[in-house]
Chains A and B, each alone.
Chain A
């Protein structure tokens, strides 16, 4: 089996050397992230068919929550470093696929805008890793589901680390393709396995 892997002997980082703030990070596990076809936004799940008044209450609640809840790079790292690699029984953090330095958060570009952008650069374990797209998808799905909806999630391959980077970047940046992939049962099952090790 190991012969089929793109990188049978990856460099592994000792878990205790990985940056983490897990103990203090809020662990709000949301059950069944693929129960709905669209992104499982908490406000929608909380009030699937509430009347307009109730909805506006909820959105003002979530605004307050946004103000309270500042999210930094470390928190994003903690959300994705525990994702399992699809071909090794190891986390993306310990394989160095995701690193704290390659996560950037851009705050809203204007005072009126409430949209922040998280950019994650992933480093495939080998330059020919055929599973790069799946890893990227796993990271994207994890963040879209775990972060508040005001975050736009851009997942890209770190420059110079993969021959197919442009192609993979374009796929991961294509909302329609990501949405369709999440309606594909076999892909969802692969991604679910990767995310099973996340808190």
Chain B
């Protein structure tokens, strides 16, 4: 069984609760949102603080997000309990283009965290985004378009479009949640946004002709949904190469490819669930299971998502964060019980001749969603609904008291960047806790 081993604690720690840490899209640095109203940027090469952002927010900074594809300059969005979001800029090494002669950046270009570790003056405040009525819980940039999503205790999700540098326009205010919106996450390749809420539901939002609207409602969690995230499209290949698969497994791969990346969620109800889209142009259903057109929604815009499975229940208190590795497809979770748990998806070793065998299979961990046993679901989804039963999730590693006796608020996979890294694509797990510390862990097999 693999072990989760502490590699380093980022230094210096914060004196107050730290909420979340976000790795840079291409530099070996990570930004930690702190309740002392600062963001600390640490190097993942030497684990030292590289710079800080302070003075912009009046309350806790809850979340931050790096703008993707911003070569030459790093752009960070911050979301705060003061109801505002901030945009901050900093030149990367060799990235300055001198367009703005007013700013003297020539003295302290460091970028990769290799030098000038304590140069705190490089972050430039660019713009503040006002609009939310209460605490912002999460901010995130879209990977496919110049869009930023923010969500708040005011029950709304806002989508902002960056028309040109630092000129943000509100393109949507989405109000359908009935409670705080805790987390927003973008689909990796489509303009599709997921939101998780205090109302126990997940909603998916897309652009319908000209307007953003809710295209799917995912119900089932029995407590606040704290976090949602889409998987990487390549995760399917973590299950193994296609030539070694049975025909059933190959069919499942086809369904997964057609459905696209799945969504994962974790909740106050101590469950982690995986949701999968039901593709619209489905392969032919077996005879006798032909759906009647009336079952389907009329509009192409609306999507149907089903709960594919639940991960093994290891946590004993609310689960605050779940994160999906883009490299290995492994999932890591953490929460109030102070545990960090890593899960892996595998093909079930026992062969299943048909979908009905689901209930008989003894599983090391993941349980099929109750919905799948449901008659209606069977009728609607045909054989596809059961295909989640071909794989199982296994908890492969666990560490307790990851931040001494404190709660752990956030956990994320990041590329390993220190001098002792063992392979080119090795990853570390970065955890962020109530003790103000950010810990870096390796997964040792």
A and B interact physically: yes
Q: Which residues of A does B touch, CB under 8 Å?
A: 36-39, 41, 44, 48-49, 52, 59, 109-110, 112-115, 148-150, 152, 170, 173-177, 179-180, 183
Is there a chain A Cβ closer than 8 Å to B416's Cβ?
Answer: no
Is there a chain A Cβ closer than 8 Å to B140's Cβ?
Answer: no
- Whose C-beta in chain A lies nearest to the C-beta of B179? A170
Which residues of B have CB within 8 Å of A177? 153, 180
Distance, CA A52 to CA B401, complexed state (A): 18
Which residues of B have CB within 8 Å of A113? 337, 400-401
Q: Which residues of B does A touch, CB under 8 Å?
A: 9, 11-12, 15-17, 35-37, 59-60, 62, 81, 134-135, 137, 153, 180, 182, 198, 224, 268, 316-318, 320, 336-338, 400-401, 404-407, 434-436
Asked if A114 and B401 sit within 8 Å, CB to CB, the answer is: yes
Asked if A176 and B182 sit within 8 Å, CB to CB, the answer is: yes
Which residues of A have CB within 8 Å of B336? 152, 175
Asked if A150 and B9 sit within 8 Å, CB to CB, the answer is: no
Which residues of A have CB within 8 Å of B12? 49
With A44-B15, A113-B400, A174-B224 known, 11 other A-B pairs at CB within 8 A are: A37-B36, A38-B16, A38-B35, A39-B17, A48-B15, A115-B337, A152-B336, A152-B407, A176-B62, A176-B182, A180-B134
Question: What DSSP secondary structure best describes chain A's contact surface?
Answer: loop
In the complex, how many residue pairs between chain A and chain B have their CB atoms under 8 Å apart?
A: 86
Which residues of B have CB within 8 Å of A49? 12, 15
Distance, CA A104 to CA B316, complexed state (A): 17
In angstroms, how far is the closest chain B Cβ from the Cβ of A161?
22
Distance, CA A121 to CA B336, complexed state (A): 20
In angstroms, how far is the closest chain A Cβ from the Cβ of B133?
13
In angstroms, how far is the closest chain B Cβ from the Cβ of A59?
6
Distance, CA A44 to CA B13, complexed state (A): 10
Which residues of B have CB within 8 Å of A59? 404
Asked if A180 and B337 sit within 8 Å, CB to CB, the answer is: no
Q: A38-B17, A49-B15, A52-B11 are in contact. Are A170 and B434 (CB under 8 A)?
A: no
Which residues of A have CB within 8 Å of B405? 114-115, 148-150
Asked if B400 and A112 sit within 8 Å, CB to CB, the answer is: yes
Distance, CA A152 to CA B134, complexed state (A): 27
- Whose C-beta in chain B lies nearest to the C-beta of A45? B15
In angstroms, how far is the closest chain B Cβ from the Cβ of A55?
8
Which residues of A have CB within 8 Å of B400? 110, 112-113
Distance, CA A114 to CA B407, complexed state (A): 12
- Whose C-beta in chain A lies nearest to the C-beta of B401? A114
